[in-house]
Structure 1
Amino acid sequence: MTAAFDFKKEYRDLYLPKTTPALIDVGPMTFLAAAGAGDPNEEEGAYAAALEALYALSFTIKMAKKGDWQPEGYFDYVVPPLEGLWWGGGFDEARAADKGALRWVSLIRQPDFVTPEVLAWAAERVAAKKPGADVGRVRLVRFAEGPCAQIMHRGPYDDEPATVVALEAFVAASGREDDIAEPTSDEALLDALDAHGGVPAVRLHHEIYLGDPRRTKPENLRTVVRHPVRRA
């Protein structure tokens, strides 16, 4: 039996960087995306609702292998990890002064065979099985991040500032600077992200979550921290 394609293993440079900073050029990828605002730790809040919809759609698409229809080009795969773009709330790429005022886009990478038609097919099935899932908020976007600096953070999310400081020092020493700009609205950001494989005009602090905080001890969590950069 052929093993399911695992994006983390096949693209180790994107998902498994070292704990020392490095430069990387990130090419185009397809994502399911949901934008919102508010404290990500709030139970039954907007963030939790976004994740419910993203995971429901992602696993419905993956499990098409067991149905009587599969998208053209379908192959079996492991659902990639949750990712997030963050800004607002006094967020300075290191910490948030007010988590309740944070803004975010949550993302889950999809195989390139996922099209708007595939998303519509999955949304219809999720709506039938989970009427409470807000699948209407999820968009399909395709963009490249372009030149970035990244590092693996190990430990609790609240300890990330020290890792970000190390990343920023590396960026400055490399003759580069952050290329981060806040969008004017959630919709403007989603429109910008749907860049058809190009680098969007708006680029943000990016995190990729390799551990489940519900099942992993805080000290064992791994988070990829990635910043878009440009020549200073």
Structure 2
Amino acid sequence: MADPGKVDFKKTIAAYRARRAFEIVDVPELQYLMVDGHGDPNTSVFTDAVEALYPIAYKLKFASKKSLGRDYVVMPLEGLWWADDMATFTAARDKSRWDWTLMIMVPEWISAEMFAEVAPPESPVRLESLAEGKCVQTLHVGSFDDEAGVLDEMHNSFIPSYGMKVTGKHHEIYLSDRRKTEPAKLRTILRQPVLE
């Protein structure tokens, strides 16, 4: 049985719930652990970035519970993705040209001082807020390599049909652990900030 005192932000923040349909959502300003990288996500650079985030995320969770009496579920891995030519995501799928920021959301009560206490000085991880505002998102079930068609429809059909324009960086929220889930069953929220 779940601990009633432990907050699960996937349940309390509406933007972490998505259906298999395009939806327009308002995403509040949120605080994240972030680490930047470039290139194919199937490389050690990407793996190293993931491995830099999680120890800090868990140390902050335990520090919050111990010193503040506030417990929460560590959030899933997320990623911001962009490139000089966004067609590398929908057509060519040239992963070597991708830039990314991997993230794990942390509660607003996690302070810069708490972060500094648990993050090694040499860590590439930083604590930063992100305000995305109005976004279009959908739940994608399947392989990451099958996202191209969904993104093409989102960017070139759904968003323009509502008189909106793409802005900011493509955002993915990984609800499944890709190390333990077969590709056809991966659940990923695909999100794109927009301007009206």
Relative to the length of structure 1, the TM-score reads: 0.76
The residue correspondences of 1:66-215 to structure 2 (distance < 5 A) are 70=67, 73-88=68-83, 90-92=85-87, 93-94=89-90, 97-124=93-120, 136-168=123-155, 169-179=157-167, 203-215=168-180
User: Which residue of structure 2 lines up, in the alignment, with residue 4 of structure 1?
Assistant: 6
Number of residue pairs matched? Answer: 192
* Residue 37 (str. 1) matches residue 38 (str. 2): yes
CA distance in 1, matches of 2:93, 2:147: 14
Shift of 1:65: 5.8
* Distance verdict in 2 for CA 1:207–1:110, change over 3 Å: same
Query: In 2, are the aligned partners of 1:91 and 1:97 still within 8 Å (CA)?
Result: no
User: Which residue of structure 1 lines up, in the alignment, with residue 60 of structure 2?
Assistant: 61
* Distance verdict in 2 for CA 1:28–1:58, change over 3 Å: same
Query: In 1, are the aligned partners of 2:15 and 2:26 still within 8 Å (CA)?
Result: no
* Residue 46 (str. 1) matches residue 71 (str. 2): no
CA distance in 2, matches of 1:74, 1:101: 44
CA distance in 1, matches of 2:52, 2:64: 20
1:223 counterpart letter in structure 2: T
* Distance verdict in 2 for CA 1:161–1:98, change over 3 Å: closer
Unaligned runs of 5+ in 1: 128-134, 180-202
Query: In 2, are the aligned partners of 1:152 and 1:222 still within 8 Å (CA)?
Result: yes
CA distance in 2, matches of 1:112, 1:207: 21
CA distance in 1, matches of 2:129, 2:34: 10
Relative to the length of structure 2, the TM-score reads: 0.90
CA distance in 1, matches of 2:151, 2:108: 31
Shift of 1:5: 0.8
CA distance in 1, matches of 2:127, 2:133: 19
CA distance in 1, matches of 2:128, 2:64: 23
User: Which residue of structure 2 lines up, in the alignment, with residue 189 of structure 1?
Assistant: none
CA distance in 2, matches of 1:57, 1:174: 40
Q: Is the partner of 1:137 in helix, strand or coil?
A: coil
Unaligned runs of 5+ in 2: none
Shift of 1:26: 1.0
Superposition RMSD on alpha carbons, in Å? 1.9
Deviations 1:127-180 (A, max 9, x none): 8xxxxxxx521111012101111111110000001211332311111111212x
Q: Is the partner of 2:176 in helix, strand or coil?
A: coil
Q: Is the partner of 1:227 in helix, strand or coil?
A: strand
Identity of aligned residues (%): 38
